[in-house]
Amino acid sequence: MEIETIDTQGICIPRLGFGTFRMPGTGCQPVVESALALGYRHIDTATMYENEDAVGAALAGAGIARGALHITTKAWHDSLQPDALRRSLDVSLKRLRLDYVDLFMVHWPSPDMDLPAVLETMQKLKDEGRTRAIGVCNFTLPMLKTALDEVRAPLACVQVEYHPFLSQAGLLGYLRPKHIPLVAYAPLAQGRAASDPVLARVGEKHGASAAQIALAWLLDQDGVIAIPKAQHKESQQSNLGALKVRLDDEDRRAIAGLPKDLRYVSPPFAPKWDA
Ligand SMILES: NC(=O)c1ccc[n+]([C@@H]2O[C@H](COP(=O)([O-])OP(=O)(O)OC[C@H]3O[C@@H](n4cnc5c(N)ncnc54)[C@H](OP(=O)(O)O)[C@@H]3O)[C@@H](O)[C@H]2O)c1
DSSP annotation of 101? B
pLDDT at 68: 97
Among positive and negative, which fits the CA dihedral 32, 190, 161, 77? negative
Query: Of 189, 172, 199, nearest to 258 (Cα)?
Result: 199
Q: Would 272 be classed as within a structural domain?
A: no
pLDDT at 8: 98
Q: What percent of the chain has pLDDT over 70?
A: 100
Q: Would 261 be classed as within a structural domain?
A: no
pTM: 0.98
Q: Under DSSP, is residue 238 helix (H, G, I), strand (E, B) or coil?
A: helix
**39 pLDDT higher than 90:** yes
The one catalytic residue in 40, 49, 162, 185 is 49
Instruction: Kindly give the distance from the C-alpha atom of residue 189 to the centroid of ligand 1, in angstroms, as a whole number.
Output: 7
Q: Would 38 be classed as within a structural domain?
A: yes
Closest residue by Cα to atom 47, ligand 1, is 19
Q: Would 63 be classed as within a structural domain?
A: yes
- Are β-strands 11-14 and 70-75 bridged in parallel, bridged antiparallel, or unpaired? unpaired
Q: What confidence tier does 199 reach under pLDDT thresholds 50, 70, 90? A: very high
Amino acid at 93: L
| Residue 211 in contact with ligand 1 by CB distance below 6 A | yes
Please give the tally of structural domains in the chain: 1
Q: What is the pLDDT of residues 124-174, one digit of tens each?
A: 999 999 999 999 999 999 999 999 999 999 999 999 999 999 999 999 999
Q: 121 with 151: CB under 8 angstroms? A: no
**275 pLDDT higher than 70:** no
Can you tell me which atom of ligand 1 is nearest the CA of 45? 47
* C-alpha–C-alpha distance, residues 185 and 162, integer Å: 6
Q: How many CB atoms lie within 10 A of CB 235?
A: 17
Query: Which residue segment(s) compose the domain that 52 sits in?
Result: 5-191
State yes or no: 107 annotated in a binding site: yes
Closest residue by Cα to atom 19, ligand 1, is 228
Q: Would 177 be classed as within a structural domain?
A: yes
Tell me what the mean pLDDT of segment 82-89 comes to. 98
Q: Would 20 be classed as within a structural domain?
A: yes
Closest residue by Cα to atom 24, ligand 1, is 191
| Residue 203 in contact with ligand 1 by CB distance below 6 A | no
Q: Under DSSP, is residue 2 helix (H, G, I), strand (E, B) or coil?
A: coil
3-state helix, strand, coil in the chain (%, to 5): 45, 15, 40
Q: What confidence tier does 274 reach under pLDDT thresholds 50, 70, 90? A: confident
Q: Would 175 be classed as within a structural domain?
A: yes
Closest residue by Cα to atom 37, ligand 1, is 230
Q: Would 219 be classed as within a structural domain?
A: no
Q: What confidence tier does 1 reach under pLDDT thresholds 50, 70, 90? A: confident
Tell me what the mean pLDDT of segment 206-215 comes to. 98
Can you tell me which atom of ligand 1 is nearest the CA of 21? 45
Q: Under DSSP, is residue 155 helix (H, G, I), strand (E, B) or coil?
A: strand
* C-alpha–C-alpha distance, residues 150 and 142, integer Å: 11
Q: 119 with 153: CB under 8 angstroms? A: yes
CATH number for the domain that contains residue 169: 3.20.20.100
Amino acid at 200: A
Q: Which of 188, 192, 263, 265 to mutate to test the pocket of ligand 1 (most atoms within 8 A of CB)?
A: 188
| Catalytic residue flag (residue 49) | yes
- As a whole number, the mean pLDDT across the chain is 98
